[in-house]
């Protein structure tokens, strides 16, 4: 197997170092496709009647990649490129694979990784074990723990998604949907309950949560590309949530699907990926403390 991991990045520096570290030994190349455009290509988001302009660089994601690579990329696997398809939602991955990945790397497999996904060694080993022994086209991730406001609490993302694609010698793949899966849905899929990333997308910094919300308002509500979020979600739900004083359960941002995520529950510390245990011990986010539910300081950093 020759596997290229692909990141699509507008922002995402909160957990990018841990994400890169968790996949590094399992892939042959890591392609970081950086854009400065939101899905849909809009530059302005209307937020409670005011215009909010998209910054050129939300959180220094390119600098974060280069900093991690300088310290850790001894095999020179990491490559940063401009993403010419950044404004596209539908079909973006097929265009990246067809124009950058296949011509530049000639892989057998393509893996899609989000910058807030951190893999446990057992889970990513299971993914590549399944891929090496199956003739499936798309390898599906099991519903992951979706961390909420802190590493201490998690809900669940329930919609299935393809995390790995077998190319089988193809020099081009058919159009994809929102992510890596075929838009036509005709390919053979396989899933394994062991294969799941730890998703920290709702447990990052306040800055990240804010821009996650605003970019979603832009491409979902304003550009009409997806189910729109509630405008008040960031301030009334995400930021206000607290395990001790405000344990509300309408966590999902999407209008009409407010209870699509199960209520957040405590997540066992010992089940976290080792790189996240190290992060918690060495560089915790201040937002984790404002989520409440404090426990004694952890000293465990290994699996």
Q: Rounded CA gap, 278 and 18, in Å?
A: 9
Flag whether 300 is in a domain: no
Same-domain pairing of 137 and 264: no
- Are 21 and 72 a contacting pair, CB within 8 Å? yes
Same-domain pairing of 194 and 221: no
Burial 208-217 (b: 16+ CB within 10 A, else e): bbbbbbbbbb
Same-domain pairing of 114 and 139: yes
φ, ψ (nearest 5 deg) of residue 69: -65, -40
Residue 131: CATH number of its domain: 3.90.550
- Are 275 and 18 a contacting pair, CB within 8 Å? yes
pLDDT number for residue 182: 84
Same-domain pairing of 162 and 73: yes
Q: Which residue has the higher pLDDT, 219 or 26?
A: 26
pLDDT number for residue 199: 97
Flag whether 303 is in a domain: no
| 53-101 pLDDT tens trace | 999 899 999 999 999 999 999 999 999 999 999 888 888 999 999 999 9
Same-domain pairing of 263 and 182: no
pLDDT number for residue 177: 84
Residue 268 domain boundaries: 205-289
Same-domain pairing of 176 and 258: no
| 99-140 pLDDT tens trace | 999 999 999 999 999 999 999 999 999 999 999 999 999 999
Flag whether 73 is in a domain: yes
Same-domain pairing of 172 and 233: no
Flag whether 295 is in a domain: no
Q: Rounded CA gap, 30 and 33, in Å?
A: 10
Flag whether 302 is in a domain: no
What is the average pLDDT score of the chain? 92
Q: Between vectors from CA 81 to CA 2 and to CA 4, what angle results, nearest 5°?
A: 10
pLDDT number for residue 220: 75
| 171-208 pLDDT tens trace | 999 999 878 888 777 789 999 999 999 999 999 999 99
Structure tokens at 221: 């509500």
pLDDT number for residue 225: 59
Flag whether 110 is in a domain: yes
CA quadruple 294, 295, 299, 302: dihedral, nearest 10: -90
pLDDT number for residue 224: 63
Same-domain pairing of 10 and 137: yes
pLDDT number for residue 165: 95
| 220-252 pLDDT tens trace | 766 565 778 999 999 999 999 999 999 999 999
Domain count of the chain? 2
pLDDT band, residue 272 (cuts 50/70/90): very high
pLDDT number for residue 88: 86
The pLDDT of 156-177, averaged and rounded, is 90
Q: How far is CA 49 from CA 69, 116, 217, 228, in A?
A: 41, 30, 13, 16
Same-domain pairing of 113 and 219: no
Same-domain pairing of 180 and 220: no
Same-domain pairing of 48 and 85: yes
Flag whether 178 is in a domain: yes
The pLDDT of 286-293, averaged and rounded, is 95
Same-domain pairing of 191 and 254: no
């Amino acid at each position: 197997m020759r596997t290229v991991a692909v990141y699509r990045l507008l922002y995402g520096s909160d957990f990018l170092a841990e994400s890169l570290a968790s996949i590094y030994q399992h892939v042959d190349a890591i392609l970081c496709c950086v854009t400065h455009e939101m899905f849909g290509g809009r530059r302005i988001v209307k937020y409670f009647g005011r215009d909010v302009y998209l910054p050129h660089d939300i959180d220094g994601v390119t600098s974060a990649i280069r900093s991690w690579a300088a310290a850790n990329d001894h095999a020179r696997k990491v490559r940063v490129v401009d993403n010419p398809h950044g404004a596209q939602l539908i079909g973006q991955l097929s265009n990246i694979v067809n124009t950058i990945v296949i011509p530049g790397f000639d892989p057998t497999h393509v893996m899609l990784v989000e910058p807030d996904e951190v893999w446990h060694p057992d889970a990513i080993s299971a993914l590549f074990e399944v891929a090496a022994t199956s003739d499936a086209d798309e390898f599906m991730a099991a519903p992951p723990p979706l961390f909420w406001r802190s590493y201490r609490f998690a809900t669940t993302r329930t919609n299935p998604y393809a995390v790995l694609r077998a190319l089988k010698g193809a020099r081009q793949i058919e159009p994809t949907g929102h992510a890596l899966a075929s838009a036509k849905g005709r390919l053979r899929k396989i899933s394994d309950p062991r294969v799941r990333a730890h998703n920290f997308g709702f447990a990052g910094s306040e800055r990240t949560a804010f821009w996650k919300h605003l970019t979603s308002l832009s491409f979902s509500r304003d550009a009409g590309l997806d189910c729109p979020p509630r405008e008040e979600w960031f301030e009334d739900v995400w930021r206000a949530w607290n395990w001790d004083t405000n344990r509300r359960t309408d966590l999902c941002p999407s209008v009409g699907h407010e209870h699509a995520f199960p209520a957040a529950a405590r997540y066992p510390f010992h089940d976290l990926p080792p790189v996240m245990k190290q992060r918690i011990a060495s560089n915790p986010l201040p937002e984790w403390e404002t989520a409440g539910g404090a426990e004694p300081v952890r000293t465990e950093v290994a699996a």
